[in-house]
Structure 1
């Protein structure tokens, strides 16, 4: 298969929304992409539309029910801070970076989700220490490219303040620029989370979120300049994309509190979970309900009846629910008993003590990171909830398309580098591509 570009730079601006497009049109470096290349005005995300499943979809071209990453975090009932789907082994089947590596091209990934222990030449995976005895630096080094990460940390580690934003993205930017200049990878995947963080903490259209968009513009400019300084700009293709949008919310639904009162969850005197029959696993704007025993017909029916009662009262915040079979048909986890969609203004948390419905104040959001003012995870069919894609450079047509799906991105990116992801849920969007002779 002929290759359309030598260097593919994929920049994921986490939580970039189609609603941001009027602002991006006014920012000079985003203007460069828009004036020189392609724009997709609405990219339909997946269900649930949360970061880790979305990024697994981007590199596989498949829905979660095929690639196996169904949520950000694992089902670990009662654990205050569940582990995340950090590892490459969480993804079933091949990925974009696997196929590029097989084709003897160089790969790099910077804080790209679900890449811990992946076979990537220059890998700084998104993973954090989640146990008291763990050290963040060692956890990162052990799960990525040790020498590469150590060198980047020596040069630019002073910029970081742990996981705080915007310092984390500033560190990743300097690492990106350095990697472009010194490694010149054929595939570089970068994940920036500044905007997502600001929207969670301050709201979708907050001043802090708008400032993050402006910072992203400057970051994009630095990356474009680095490609020129490395003398590979003319041989490169730059993709800027979002994984999902976000919606403002003010109330948290703690369905496990109700499950506790109905003896579906058992706790001790210290409110520690001892056992469970049914558990609500949050995906922010949506949620899975799992049964400990999937064949427990009585518990299934009891939960089904409870959900029907909750639907009758809008103040309980549940817009709709579907069965596991219906969830699988939408690309979600077939192992769930039910999948819930929150009404706009609501989202799900996993607490099993306290209030059933909690109104979130800005003060509480600032004090406790589990409380947010905007989130994602909702159905991609929600109104004003699409994301976007911009692309410019080798192999890209100058065109505006009204719509593609997130599952279409991976096959299209693979085509740019002359590789294939095989039989995928998504398809190559040939309208975006120039499909001409191979780059030499």
Structure 2
């Protein structure tokens, strides 16, 4: 049965790291306050496991858990790469997406810094992709993975606002690019990913004054988006969705379990200091971590590793839970892992196999691109005070409906319904209480 399309223009605005905890504060800011008055919303949205940006944004456009869409982490498992590549490209994402189906139906789509869209069919695309090799140029890498002429125009007009990936400069650039796109392209589906708040919290901490200022900048951006829609004469035909992908938690200690695995000779390192082989290895997801066995069928090894981690944790209490493969699959995480490890509050994981197993975060390590962070995510979505939000205003949306709780997998089907699209492979469902 064909679904009736409810809106001509759908704007999906992702404020990376926006938390349920922020809802009270943003409700006092002028533009958020006015938006929420008219909105239907849920301020308790459970993200996916691991609660990372790329798995979450892939879920938003597919309605699937990471185990089904394939984006099970931010970064790829690339042995001996100090800076692994991220899941930048559309090719990593399994199955149908909201934007592909929209394009098939003749709609125009724009995406600005939306994760996992490089090399996609999006007509106006500036994907989130980094020059991850010393010889690469950021602008060229971005243009080769997106829409070249569109990006040329954006860089020419607004490139002066950007300073690498520093914030708030990057979001200031993305924001002006978004306003330009609204005015000049009028896409039927727009996806934009703002990272100012998330970056600021990583560097300064969840409750920092800097984070409050990032929320205030987002409030100004929201006001300018609404004004641009009104000035362009399309506000009354539009639907605006504001959402977060995950929350975050403050921490002050790093756990490098690969150091432990190396000491116990489960990881072998050559004379150059590179891993030449392993029986067991950890791949971090910040607040959680996957543990992979080279031989997944080795039950004795599995038991030995479990006992090793359990004994180690008796002394340090840095691991809140060790989930087996079946439990990981039930959570929607990577079905290829042997265990998924959940960090205790105050801890997060990295992949280093040299130095101390547990290391305290010191202020002098914090920089523009910090080696360590003061606040992070990737934890279980069911940790306390750790949910995110979903708010919507406009065509096809009821006014004033409040949903007690929902899941991130429900967002894709709900967004699709507004465009007359059914995500048939989705794990989530349409939240009919929001739909007019």
Considering the TM-score relative to the shorter chain, is it more than 0.5? yes
> Do residues 222 (structure 1) and 224 (structure 2) align?
yes
Offset at 1:292? 2.0
* Cα distance in 2, alignment partners of residues 403 and 293 from structure 1: 40
The equivalent position to 2:428 in structure 1, one of 426, 431, 435, is 426
Secondary structure at the aligned position of 1:312 is classed as helix
Aligned length: 433
Kept in 1: contact 2:365–2:371 (CA 8 A): no
* Cα distance in 1, alignment partners of residues 127 and 369 from structure 2: 26
Kept in 1: contact 2:254–2:360 (CA 8 A): yes
Structure 1 length-normalised TM: 0.97
Secondary structure at the aligned position of 1:366 is classed as coil
Offset at 1:400? 1.3
* Cα distance in 1, alignment partners of residues 171 and 302 from structure 2: 44
1:50 match: 52
Q: Which runs of 4+ in 1 moved over 3 A?
A: none
| Deviation per residue, 1:202-238 (Å, 9 max, x gap) | 1000011111000000111111111111110000000
2:141 match: 139
Counterparts of 1:85-100 in structure 2 under 5 Å?
85-100=87-102
Offset at 1:297? 3.4
* Cα distance in 2, alignment partners of residues 6 and 195 from structure 1: 30
* Cα distance in 1, alignment partners of residues 252 and 317 from structure 2: 13
Offset at 1:291? 1.4
1:438 match: none
Offset at 1:362? 2.1
The equivalent position to 1:166 in structure 2, one of 168, 181, 189, is 168
> Do residues 326 (structure 1) and 327 (structure 2) align?
yes
1:380 match: 381
2:4 match: 2
Kept in 2: contact 1:316–1:357 (CA 8 A): no
| Deviation per residue, 1:269-319 (Å, 9 max, x gap) | 443222222111010000000112323334322211112213323x24001
* Cα distance in 1, alignment partners of residues 335 and 271 from structure 2: 34
Gaps of 5+ in 1: 435-440
* Cα distance in 2, alignment partners of residues 16 and 259 from structure 1: 35
Kept in 1: contact 2:64–2:425 (CA 8 A): no
* Cα distance in 2, alignment partners of residues 28 and 43 from structure 1: 23
Counterparts of 1:36-435 in structure 2 under 5 Å?
36-313=38-315, 315-366=316-367, 369-398=370-399, 399-434=401-436
* Cα distance in 2, alignment partners of residues 249 and 416 from structure 1: 39
Kept in 1: contact 2:203–2:368 (CA 8 A): no
Kept in 2: contact 1:77–1:279 (CA 8 A): no
Kept in 2: contact 1:311–1:320 (CA 8 A): no
* Cα distance in 1, alignment partners of residues 43 and 338 from structure 2: 35
1:31 match: 33
| Deviation per residue, 1:104-161 (Å, 9 max, x gap) | 1110100000000011010000000111111111110110001101110011001100
Kept in 1: contact 2:166–2:368 (CA 8 A): no
Secondary structure at the aligned position of 1:391 is classed as strand
Secondary structure at the aligned position of 2:254 is classed as strand
Structure 2 length-normalised TM: 0.97
* Cα distance in 1, alignment partners of residues 313 and 429 from structure 2: 37
Offset at 1:183? 0.5
* Cα distance in 1, alignment partners of residues 313 and 426 from structure 2: 36
Secondary structure at the aligned position of 2:366 is classed as helix
Secondary structure at the aligned position of 2:48 is classed as coil
- Of 393-402 and 62-71, deviating more is 393-402
* Backbone CA RMSD of aligned residues: 1.1
Secondary structure at the aligned position of 2:220 is classed as helix
| Deviation per residue, 1:229-255 (Å, 9 max, x gap) | 111000000001000000000000000
> Do residues 12 (structure 1) and 14 (structure 2) align?
yes
